[in-house]
Each structure stands twice: as structure tokens, then as C-alpha cells.
């Protein structure tokens, strides 16, 4: 017997019963995002590894431990693929900033509002809500006109709006400000001073994080490190006056539009590029992987990648976690849709196939059983297909040029004397159905 292949660890097959839910969520999110003026951008699934290292940070877990690098294929290939130095994207912010600069978007508009939906890749230890290939819905607002507190508030309000529109209610929004690059330096100095007395209590990783990037200690999931972090209090204000004012304006804008949030002075995020506002949205029902989404402002990234000195702000929501939070309660739509042709004898397949093609070209969702059998078993197939109408093609119908149409909901069968009449009947049913869905 041949080898049975499994899905790679940390990845999933999304079967038709679930793609319905995925598409519904993606369409809902995209519709709302577009209402806020964002336009879709699609960038490659892989980029230069160095791009991610530069943006996300050499000391981050994402770059240090989770990057999925593409290996060079040398022997045995007709054409040598030059893949070394490339990695699957662990997130999209870096790629979008790269694309923004490369395509001179700053010369075309004062504010580029971009969104994306797609797979990301991180070599993490898989568990519930944590995959190696996962999917994000994200937005990035980049440009000379992006450095205003209202835009931070808009981006946060958008994330909340999407979650609510997808039926997710039980979540909390935490926000913090890291301040400017100078404020961040001050923050890191204060943290170092506070953590220093507990250094020996930290895990091995955090002892080196303490030297290289002390913010990472705050994110560590190790219980010993969490105990240390819980002991320290942050009563010093690391923010400059300007940064404090900016942060206060973001909070006020959120309050003004009734978005509830809590401030968390220890929220720092695991990616290096953030400055000023950072936020995270968590759901208590998700277990240890409780972040539905996160984001913040990154005012130096565009310049750091060789672009102009302009600010940016954005977020990404994890689709798998959003679906976990909705509880997947909804199933495949059980309502009946479209028409289904059944043919009583193989010799009439030709006529059935032509009718199938004509109806589809005329905009009617139609399918056909390419088999013969008893009327009962053919009807059973159409029923399994959740067909709304069954078109029966038998000797009599073909001789007379009529069509027998059975409504699978009511069980009523009617004879239609022409193709046009049947088409109108199916169109009416289609219309009624769509009106019901809207």
C-alpha cells in the first residue's frame, strides 16, 4: 500500500463546511475595512529574510526562533532555484512597508490606507489557536498625513468593529504607549533597573533578553518570569510631554466614540518596530493563545527601510482565533439553493448536459447527476445536494419540449412548456432566496 500523507504539522485543511464560515468572515471584514477607506494590497508570500530581521528585530522570537527559511535547491534540479536568503512571511507589515517604498506610494498620496487578508507562517510549537500557517486580516495606514491621534483611534475602532460584525462580543482591548524612540530608551532603562534585582530568577532566555532587549521579558510566558514581572510596579512616567499628550488624545478619541479599553503599562508587543500607541485585543475563551489581534504605531519603520520619514499605524487580527471565538456555532447553510438536473436514461445525457450549460450561462446555479438510476435514488442525490428545484428530463419531456420542475421544499411538481418560462421560474426563486439572505 502507498504511503498515506498527512497535513504538515501546524497546518490545517479547511474543508468546504468550514470555507463557508471563512468566506463569510473575510467578506464581512473586507466590507467594513473598505467602508473605512482602505484598499486591498497583495504582496508575495516570501521576502528577503533580512527584511523581516530588520523590521521585526533580531532579538524577537519571531525572527530568532520562528522564521521559516526557504532552502536552496541545488542538486538534481534542471534549473537551480536561488531561494537562500528568502523566508516565508511571518507577518505582513514589513512586506507592505517594503512595497510602499518600492512603489513610491508616498509620491502618489498623502495617506495610503491598505489592507490584506492571507496566510502567514511561523515555525511555532503548534497548539490550540497557534499554527505554523495561520491567516491574518490586517490594515496599515502609512503616509505623511498618518501621524495624528485620530488615526490611531480609527484603526483601533476598525479592529473592534470587525470583531463585533463577526459576532465576537467577549473581548477586551488593552492599550499602552511606548512613546518616541527616546522615550522607549528611557522605558527600557527603567525596566532594567527594576528587573535587575530579580535577574537570577528569570529563565535562561530572559537572562539574555535582559541584556539584548529587556521588553521581551515582559512577554515571556514562563511562570518564574511572570512572577518577577508581576512584582514590579511602573509608577514612573517614561513618556515625554509630547508623547503623553499624543497618548491622551488617542484615549480621548476612543472614549468619545464609546470604545471601552483598559490601559496596561506593561503592554510592549513582541515586534521591535512599534513606537507610541500599542494595543492588543484578547478573548478569555481562547486559553493561553488569547490574542485575537494586535497592532500599533510604527513611526520609524518606513525611514529605517530607506523611505521617507513618515509615520504609520496598523493592526492584524488572527482569523483562526476569530473563528474559535465565534465558537464555529454556525454550520454550512442548510438552505436549498439552485437547480439540479436528473436524466432518466443515459441516451439523454447529451440533452441534459446542453441544458446544464445553458442554464449556467444564463446565471442559474445548476448541477446534474451524471448517472442514471431509479427516480427515487436520483431524487435522493438531488436532495443531498440541497437543490431547491429538480429538473426532470425524461422521454416525454424531451418529445414535447417541456420541463418538469419539482420544488424540493414543497414537493410540488409543475410542467413548464418552454425554456424561457422555466428560466423565469428559477430566476424568481433565486431572487426570493437572495432577498431572504440580505
Residues in touch with ligand HAM (CB under 6 A): 91, 93, 122, 124, 129-131, 134, 136, 138, 140, 271, 291-296, 314-316, 318, 320-321
Residue nearest to ligand HAM (CB): 318
Beta carbon of residue 204, minimum distance to ligand HAM (angstroms, whole number):
23
Closest CB to ligand HAM among residues 155, 387: 155
Cα separation, 163 vs 289, whole angstroms: 17
Beta carbon of residue 89, minimum distance to ligand HAM (angstroms, whole number):
10
Q: Which helix (H) or strand (E) holds 91?
A: none
**Is the separation of the CB atoms in 287 and 111 below 8 Å?**
no
Closest CB to ligand HAM among residues 49, 430: 49
Q: How far is CA 317 from CA 26, 158, 170, 272, 359, in A?
A: 11, 11, 15, 18, 40
Beta carbon of residue 317, minimum distance to ligand HAM (angstroms, whole number):
6
Closest CB to ligand HAM among residues 129, 311: 129
Closest CB to ligand HAM among residues 138, 311: 138
Closest CB to ligand HAM among residues 134, 198: 134
Closest CB to ligand HAM among residues 289, 369: 289
Tell me the three state secondary structure of residue 231.
helix
Closest CB to ligand HAM among residues 132, 388: 132
Beta carbon of residue 51, minimum distance to ligand HAM (angstroms, whole number):
13
Beta carbon of residue 316, minimum distance to ligand HAM (angstroms, whole number):
4
Closest CB to ligand HAM among residues 198, 315: 315
Sign of CA dihedral 130, 134, 135, 139: positive
Beta carbon of residue 270, minimum distance to ligand HAM (angstroms, whole number):
6
Closest CB to ligand HAM among residues 295, 338: 295
Beta carbon of residue 42, minimum distance to ligand HAM (angstroms, whole number):
16
Beta carbon of residue 438, minimum distance to ligand HAM (angstroms, whole number):
30
Work out the end-to-end distance of the chain between its first and last CA atoms, rounded to an integer number of angstroms.
50
Q: Cell digits for 256?
A: 468619545
Residue 71 exposure: Cα atoms within 13 Å on the Cβ side: 3
Closest CB to ligand HAM among residues 56, 368: 56
Sign of CA dihedral 125, 128, 130, 131: positive
The vertex-421 CA angle with 416 and 423, nearest 5°, equals: 110
3-class DSSP string for 32-70 = HHHHCCCEECCCCCEEEHHHHHHHHCCCCHHHHHCCCEC
Cα separation, 114 vs 212, whole angstroms: 33
DSSP β-ladder status, 112-121 and 389-393: unpaired
Beta carbon of residue 313, minimum distance to ligand HAM (angstroms, whole number):
7
Beta carbon of residue 169, minimum distance to ligand HAM (angstroms, whole number):
17
Cα separation, 306 vs 48, whole angstroms: 15
Q: 302: Cβ–Cβ under 8 A, 6 or more apart, which residues?
A: 97, 100, 101, 106, 142, 308, 309, 310, 311, 312
Cα separation, 289 vs 195, whole angstroms: 25
Cα separation, 49 vs 32, whole angstroms: 33
344 DSSP assignment: S
Amino acid at each position: 500500500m502507498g504511503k498515506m500523507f498527512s497535513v504538515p504539522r501546524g497546518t490545517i485543511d479547511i474543508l468546504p463546511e468550514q470555507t463557508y464560515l471563512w468566506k463569510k468572515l473575510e467578506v464581512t471584514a473586507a466590507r467594513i475595512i473598505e467602508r473605512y477607506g482602505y484598499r486591498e494590497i497583495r504582496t508575495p508570500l516570501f521576502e528577503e529574510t533580512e527584511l523581516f530581521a530588520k523590521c521585526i528585530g533580531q532579538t524577537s522570537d519571531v525572527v530568532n526562533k520562528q522564521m521559516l527559511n526557504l532552502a536552496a535547491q541545488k542538486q538534481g534540479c534542471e534549473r537551480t532555484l536561488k531561494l537562500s536568503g528568502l523566508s516565508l512571511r511571518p507577518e505582513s507589515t514589513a512586506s507592505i512597508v517594503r512595497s510602499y517604498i518600492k512603489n513610491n506610494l508616498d509620491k502618489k498620496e498623502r495617506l495610503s490606507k491598505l489592507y490584506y487578508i492571507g496566510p502567514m507562517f511561523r515555525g511555532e510549537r503548534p497548539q490550540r489557536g497557534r499554527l505554523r500557517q495561520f491567516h491574518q486580516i490586517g490594515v496599515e495606514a502609512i503616509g505623511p498625513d498618518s501621524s495624528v491621534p485620530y488615526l490611531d483611534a480609527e484603526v483601533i475602532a476598525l479592529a473592534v468593529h470587525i470583531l463585533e460584525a463577526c459576532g465576537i462580543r467577549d473581548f477586551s482591548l488593552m492599550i499602552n504607549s511606548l512613546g518616541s524612540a527616546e522615550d522607549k530608551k528611557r522605558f527600557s532603562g527603567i525596566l532594567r533597573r527594576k528587573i535587575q534585582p530579580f535577574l537570577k530568577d528569570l529563565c535562561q532566555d530572559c537572562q539574555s533578553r535582559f541584556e539584548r532587549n529587556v521588553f521581551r521579558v515582559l512577554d515571556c510566558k514562563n511562570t518564574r518570569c511572570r512572577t518577577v514581572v508581576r512584582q514590579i510596579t511602573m509608577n514612573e512616567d517614561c513618556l515625554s510631554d509630547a508623547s503623553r499628550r499624543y497618548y491622551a488624545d488617542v484615549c480621548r478619541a476612543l472614549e468619545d466614540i464609546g470604545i471601552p479599553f483598559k490601559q496596561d503599562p506593561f503592554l510592549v508587543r513582541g515586534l521591535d518596530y512599534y513606537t507610541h500607541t500599542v494595543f492588543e485585543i484578547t478573548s478569555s475563551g481562547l486559553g493561553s493563545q488569547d490574542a485575537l489581534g494586535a497592532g500599533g504605531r510604527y513611526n520609524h519603520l518606513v525611514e529605517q527601510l530607506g523611505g521617507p520619514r513618515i509615520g504609520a499605524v496598523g493592526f492584524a487580527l488572527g482569523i483562526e482565533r476569530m473563528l474559535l471565538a465565534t465558537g464555529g456555532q454556525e454550520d454550512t447553510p442548510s438552505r436549498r439553493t439552485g437547480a439540479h438536473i436528473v436524466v432518466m436514461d443515459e441516451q439523454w445525457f447529451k440533452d441534459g448536459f446542453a441544458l446544464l450549460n445553458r442554464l449556467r450561462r444564463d446565471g442559474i446555479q445548476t448541477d446534474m447527476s451524471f448517472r442514471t438510476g431509479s427516480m427515487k435514488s436520483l431524487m435522493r442525490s438531488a436532495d443531498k445536494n440541497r437543490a431547491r428545484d429538480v429538473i426532470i428530463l425524461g422521454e416525454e419531456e424531451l418529445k414535447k419540449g417541456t420541463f418538469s420542475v419539482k420544488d424540493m421544499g414543497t414537493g410540488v411538481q409543475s410542467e413548464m412548456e418552454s425554456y424561457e418560462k422555466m428560466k423565469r421560474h428559477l430566476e424568481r426563486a433565486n431572487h426570493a432566496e437572495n432577498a431572504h439572505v440580505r
